[in-house]
Amino acid sequence: MALLNILRYPDPRLHKIAAPVTVFDERIKKLVADMAETMYAAPGVGLAATQVDVHEQVVVIDVSDDGKNLQVFINPEIVWASEDKRVYDEGCLSVPGIYDGVERPARVKVRAFDADGKAFEVDADELLAVCIQHEMDHLKGKVFVEYLSPLKRNRIKTKLQKEERELKKKAG
């Protein structure tokens, strides 16, 4: 397994639309394992392949308290979403240190495949529902800050660009 580099907003590669996975092979299993290792090390509760510059529909999530309930969603699709909405403070490994409220359906039903290509469905609410929707947005080339006002989004972009410049200066 290997730690992967997580793209930082506003990197344009975060806006690429991910292609469906068509072959469930060892490469996909390795990608899933590397993504899980990267997510846990970050630390985070979800990671989409887009965030590690792999533009395929692969998501790993673990919202458990002990970090021992990895869930893999390949080619996920929401087949049902509740009409009732909730606002959750979301954060993102590609937008470090930034948290803000995003309104999403409170519950969803998702159909996806696991790393072996076996289809499954899951009913999700609370943090899992938020996380699934957040990571699926990445697969569509959307970052959570795009739900925020243009003013907030521009402030976040400026802040992260400044941090990136400072990191590059330190690296020499």
Q: Which residues are catalytic?
A: 135
Query: Residue 72 corresponds to which amino acid?
Result: V
Q: Is residue 16 within 8 Å of residue 54, measured between CB atoms?
A: no
> How far is Cα 45 from Cα 129, in angstroms, rounded to an integer?
12
* Both tokens assigned to 157: 């972009």
Q: Is residue 61 within 8 Å of residue 131, measured between CB atoms?
A: yes
Angle at 66 between CA 55 and CA 38, to 5 degrees: 25
Beta bridge partners of 47: 60
According to the annotation, is 15 in a ligand binding site?
no
According to the annotation, is 55 in a ligand binding site?
no
Binding-site residue positions: 92, 134, 138
Binding-site residue positions for Fe cation: 92, 134, 138
